[in-house]
Amino acid sequence: MPDIIEAVKAAMEEKGWTRYRLAKELGVKNASGVYRWLAGQQGIGYATAQKALKLLGLEITTKKGE
């Protein structure tokens, strides 16, 4: 998950998004969960992670055999 978090942070920086903006775009009621996720202190649900990646133009890919 740390690689995903770093990719999300890099995409946010590229777009000029703050953690608050990401939380708002995700539609979460409490931005603190997003803050803790990006700090590596808390997990995030699959659906929310997928939505965050899509909002930022990212996707998860796997290599065959991994």
Is 60 within a domain?
A: no
How confident is the model over 39-61, as pLDDT tens digits? 989 988 888 888 999 999 998 77
Confidence of residue 66 (pLDDT cuts 50, 70, 90): low
Q: What mean pLDDT value characterizes the chain?
A: 87
Is 65 within a domain?
A: no
Does the pTM of the predicted model rise above 0.85? no
With a cut of 80, say whether residue 62 has pLDDT above it.
Answer: no
CATH number at residue 30: 1.10.260
Per the structure, the complete domain to which residue 8 belongs is given by 2-55
How much is the pLDDT for 65? 62
**3-state secondary structure at position 3:** helix
DSSP string, 4-56: HHHHHHHHHHHHT--HHHHHHHHT-S-THHHHHHHTTSS---HHHHHHHHHHT
